[in-house]
Amino acid sequence: MKLSILDPVQIPRGMTSSGALQSSICLAQHAEKLGYTRYWVVEHHGICFEANPAPEVFVAALANATSTIRIGAGGVLLNHYSPYKAAEAMRTLEALFPGRIDVGIGRATAGLKADTALKRFRAVETPDDHEDQVQEFVGWLGNDLPETSQFQGLSIMNDESAGPLPWILAATEGSAIRAAHHGLALACSAFHVPANAPGTVAAYRQHFRPSNWRAGLGEPQALLALRVVIGETQREAERLAMPVRAVFKLRREEGIFLDALPDPDEAERILGGHVEAEDMDWPDYVVGTPERVRRVIERMASETGVDEFMVQDFVDKPEIRLRNYTLLAGAFDQH
């Protein structure tokens, strides 16, 4: 079983954005020593308690501070960018750290204000052309755009090998099938509707075709992303999970975006009491002791055939994060 980390780079109470970034660098170094496979960072805009709006910049710092673990921008939200410019950044990272960079390709809204601020032409509606953007972006990563492309003759570091490795971020069967048809790796999100994950992974494998792009794959490759909160006891894990439950409850049900990650006591008040870990096959949050978390992940692996799990936590105490990822690695005998 391979384990990886997806870091939202949350800002601990009493710490600045600079401190949060340095804390994540320390966590990446620790994860490398523990044998984690990848360390990805998210792209989020306008989230007051997160410090990573520009993963393409932070990935360079993380890769420079480590030596073997794969580092990824997980992901690049192409709906906000020119595929060419985004690919230039990724090709530069691949040239600096060959064979160690991943790029997750996604799309998402950052909210009306942030979406507008990210536009070059703010009065123009952004077209729904994600599929075209993906194909152009992956073409730039291997400098093998089709002959019909208007950009034929233009390249990015044509003297370097294709890369970095592109992953499609997907939460639905439709997105997974598109990844499969293009011969790209699949990063399946079990964040939103976890029960969809088995069908999403199965659809990807069923429809996979070897890629025609140099940056693509000849064989399917998939990972499953989960929200995981560990504690030394079940009660501690459930308490540590309260803040993330509160954040997403308010965001989804009331459209409220908090300025800070609440502490467990504040979260309990928001939620109306203590929330126990869900006893179901595909919970929204995998919460528990290392042994319980291992059992849940192993059952998911058995159902899906996935052998790599990327975990995201929302614990804002750096020392607890270091401890928890150590406990998780130990549960799978990674170190």
Residue 261 makes CB contacts below 8 A (sequence gap 6+) with 10, 11, 13, 49, 243, 244, 247, 314, 316
Could you give the CA distance from residue 253 to residue 166 in angstroms, rounded to a whole number?
Answer: 33
Q: What pLDDT does 210 receive?
A: 98
Residue 236 makes CB contacts below 8 A (sequence gap 6+) with none
Q: Among residues 95, 61, 57, 92, which one has the least CA distance to residue 76?
A: 57
Backbone φ, ψ for residue 117 (5° rounding): -65, -30
**Statement: residue 333 has pLDDT above 90:** no
Band the pLDDT of 275: cuts 50, 70, 90.
very high
Band the pLDDT of 110: cuts 50, 70, 90.
low
Look-up: residue for tokens 């069967």?
173
Could you give the CA distance from residue 83 to residue 215 in angstroms, rounded to a whole number?
Answer: 15
**Tens-place pLDDT, residues 191-221:** 989 999 999 999 999 999 999 999 999 999 9
Cβ(230)–Cβ(332) under 8 Å? no
More confident residue, 211 or 118: 211
Q: What pLDDT does 329 receive?
A: 98
Cβ(151)–Cβ(145) under 8 Å? yes
Q: Among residues 91, 30, 48, which one has the least CA distance to residue 318?
A: 30
Mean pLDDT computed over 9-17: 92
Q: Which two tokens stand for residue 239?
A: 């308490």
Band the pLDDT of 257: cuts 50, 70, 90.
confident
**Tens-place pLDDT, residues 21-70:** 999 999 999 999 999 999 999 988 888 889 999 999 999 999 999 999 99
Q: Among residues 52, 39, 54, which one has the least CA distance to residue 9?
A: 52
The CATH topology of domain 2-229+285-331 is TIM Barrel (3.20.20)
Could you give the CA distance from residue 168 to residue 131 in angstroms, rounded to a whole number?
Answer: 11
The DSSP code for 308 is E
The DSSP code for 196 is G
The DSSP code for 59 is H
Q: Which of 17-21, 184-188, 190-194, 210-214 has the lowest mean pLDDT?
A: 190-194
More confident residue, 115 or 236: 236
**Statement: residue 255 has pLDDT above 80:** yes
Could you give the CA distance from residue 165 to residue 72 in angstroms, rounded to a whole number?
Answer: 9
Q: What pLDDT does 79 receive?
A: 83
**Tens-place pLDDT, residues 282-307:** 999 999 999 999 999 999 999 999 99
Domain ranges of the chain: 2-229+285-331
**Statement: residue 148 has pLDDT above 70:** yes
Q: Which two tokens stand for residue 17?
A: 């954005």
